[in-house]
Amino acid sequence: MGCKRFSPEFKEEAVRQVTEHGYSVKDVTERICNLSLLHCQKLYLAAN
């Protein structure tokens, strides 16, 4: 099972969340991590 890497556009939006919208790096990282983990979990469950 492989999880998709983040696109350049996704990374740019994450940076914008910090620089333009005032979110902390920690908050953005936690949201991205949670989204990535949920995506990987769905892939795993679909394969098994």
pLDDT averaged over 10-residue windows placed end to end, the chain, 48 residues:
72 93 92 82 88
| Both structure tokens of 1 | 């099972």
Three-state secondary structure call for residue 1: coil
The angle subtended at Cα 22 by Cα 18 and Cα 26, nearest 5°, is: 55
The pTM of this model reads 0.63
Give the pLDDT of residue 16.
94
Give the pLDDT of residue 29.
87
CB 4 within 8 A of CB 43: no
Give the pLDDT of residue 33.
81
Rounded to whole angstroms, the Cα distance separating 20 from 43 reads 32
φ/ψ region of 22 (left if φ > 0, alpha if ψ in -120 to 50, else beta) reads: left
Give the pLDDT of residue 1.
47
Give the pLDDT of residue 12.
92
